Structure 1
Amino acid sequence: MNKHEMGALLLRVVLGITFFVHGLAKIQGGIENTAGWFASMGLPGLLAYVVTGIELIGGVALIVGLGTKIVSALLGLIMLGAILKVKIGAGFMGGYELDVVILAITVFLAINGSSMFSLDSKIPTKETQAQI
């Protein structure tokens, strides 16, 4: 087993669980409340539904390894928005330090992907078809 792939698998699954739980919390807390909170920050309330959907569906997709690069890029954009719009004023310590770590993980996965135990690895690509 490739130790780099094992590390990417760990990052992918933990990131997937993290975002799924955050999306689920938005639903359980009342998505309308989250939409109102978004609106109070000057963001469209509809964006709360989009973010929640990406977190829920994207979290599951990461756990099973489906669309890892694309999902990670989308989640990275969400983290960048959260840092710049919500957390930046609180400073690094106690504000956005963990968000930066999560952002770094999303960037890593968006660049490198993670094929170990993933559905992506079962889907034929141009590269794998050329090898056949």
Structure 2
Amino acid sequence: MANKEGIGAVLLRVVLGIIFLGHGLTKFSGGIENTAGWFGSIGLPEFLAYIVAGLEVAGGIALIIGLGTRIVGGLFVVLLAGAIIKVQWAAGFIGGYAYDLALMAMAAYLLLNGSKLYSLDGYIVKTKNKS
């Protein structure tokens, strides 16, 4: 039987994955060129839009299925720190970086603790231990 901590980690992992997958798909479906132009308008290299959107889609899927959870969590911490500093900070806490900070805390939890329950990571570990 799964423990409460394991179930909590699964909930964080899957919800964070869905959120990032949605954000990444929106960037692509809305025209990634538009997102790249916006990146340029705030002083970031436009090619970063492709990296960010790709990370959001691939990382979101990886979290949903539980593959590379700690690595993706770490990448999302870095991504969110950049978003907070470059985009959200000027808007203040409420209406600004509060949402990104909450997502960053979720990602940091996954970076530090992982989430093996109902995940490919957990399956891989079990398979290696049987060998």
Length-normalised TM-score, structure 1: 0.94
Name the count of aligned residue pairs.
Answer: 129
Corresponding residue for residue 53 of structure 1: 54
After alignment, is 75-84 or 116-125 more displaced?
116-125
Distance in 1 separating the partners of 2:116 and 2:101: 24
Distance in 1 separating the partners of 2:8 and 2:124: 22
**Percentage of matched positions with identical amino acids:** 54
Q: Gaps (5+ residues) in structure 1?
A: none
Length-normalised TM-score, structure 2: 0.94
Corresponding residue for residue 66 of structure 1: 67
For 2:14, the aligned partner's letter is: V
For 1:92, the aligned partner's letter is: F
Distance in 2 separating the partners of 1:37 and 1:94: 19
CA shift, 1:4, in A, is 0.2
Distance in 2 separating the partners of 1:83 and 1:118: 29
**Runs of 4+ more than 6 Å apart:** none
CA shift, 1:54, in A, is 0.4
User: Is 1:115 aligned with 2:88?
Assistant: no
What CA deviation, in whole Å up to 9, does each residue of 1:36-93 have, x standing for no partner?
0011111110000000000000000000000000011111111111000000001001
CA shift, 1:124, in A, is 3.6
Distance in 1 separating the partners of 2:66 and 2:42: 33
Corresponding residue for residue 95 of structure 1: 96
Distance in 1 separating the partners of 2:6 and 2:16: 15
Q: Gaps (5+ residues) in structure 2?
A: none
Distance in 1 separating the partners of 2:26 and 2:125: 35
